[in-house]
Amino acid sequence: MAFRNLSSRDRDGVRTLTIERPDKLNALNRETIGELAIAFTQARHDDAVRAVVLAGSGEKAFVAGADIAELTAMSPVQAQAFSRAGQQMMRGIETLGKPVVARIQGFALGGGLELAMSCHLRIGSEKAKLGLPEITLGLLPGFAGTQRIARLAGRAAALELALLGKPVDAARAHALGLLTRVVAPEALDAEVEAVASQLAASAPHALAGILDAIVLGGEAAFEQGADYESKAFAVCFSTADMREGTAAFLERRKPVFTGA
């Protein structure tokens, strides 16, 4: 399927999806949200895809937020549908079963931060700015941002960012857990590529088990989460990758995981 607002590139098991709306600072409109939902569904079902990188075009922004011009024309019913569509798309990223890395080179504001938080790893430039400025528009986050930021950064930081609406720099975002790593702008692409390549070379069943245990199990009671982990651990023992990994360790060589 050809997308109007996205580009897709595959290399060595890594699919890079780039939002291509630089004139709008990659703002999320309904069409872009729909295309992202389709693109991640395709990635889910493509066994050749081991990891996904999500990026924004241009140097100014990952995603600067929702498309305000589109928001102003929405009725309350349309706004709720827009919110639900964004939430569903981002939940699809979070529960993809394959690791997703966000490449954040500039602004990740509002819906952009919400999108980044749905990714499993977030690597940012030192120039990145992250925030939830919806309050300055008389709004609040609508893509489950209030829920994810509280889980990632804690209640106090969530209230500060959402109530005051002031963005934080990359160093503060890293300290809060909103960025996984922070690197110099000129090192961003190399760092993202290195992390994504490492993920793509890992055992897919083990990766999926880790994601399920942390993302889904982490939302449950401790005993249920531990059960997620135990079952995922057991599944790995039915895979050729587990036998390859343990054999490679004993033979002191690098394992080659095939996904079998």
If 0-12 CB within 10 Å is exposed, 13-18 middle and 19+ buried, where does residue 198 land?
Answer: exposed
Instruction: State the average pLDDT over residues 60-88.
Output: 95
Q: Show which residues are catalytic.
A: 114, 134
- CA proximity to 212, closest of 242, 238, 234, 179: 234
pLDDT in tens, 22-62: 999 999 999 999 999 999 999 999 999 999 999 999 999 99
> How far is the C-alpha of 24 from the C-alpha of 50, rounded, in Å?
30
Confidence band, pLDDT 50/70/90 cuts, at residue 132: very high
Confidence band, pLDDT 50/70/90 cuts, at residue 1: low
Instruction: State the average pLDDT over residues 102-126.
Output: 98
* Cα atoms in the Cβ-side hemisphere of radius 13 Å centred on 6: 24
Instruction: State the average pLDDT over residues 136-141.
Output: 96
pTM for this predicted structure: 0.95
pLDDT in tens, 210-237: 999 999 888 889 999 999 899 999 999 9
Residue extents of the structural domains in the chain:
6-200, 204-251
**CATH number for the domain running over 6-200:** 3.90.226.10
Predicted local distance difference test score (pLDDT) of residue 228: 85
What would you report as the CA-atom Rg of the chain, rounded to the nearest whole angstrom? Answer: 19
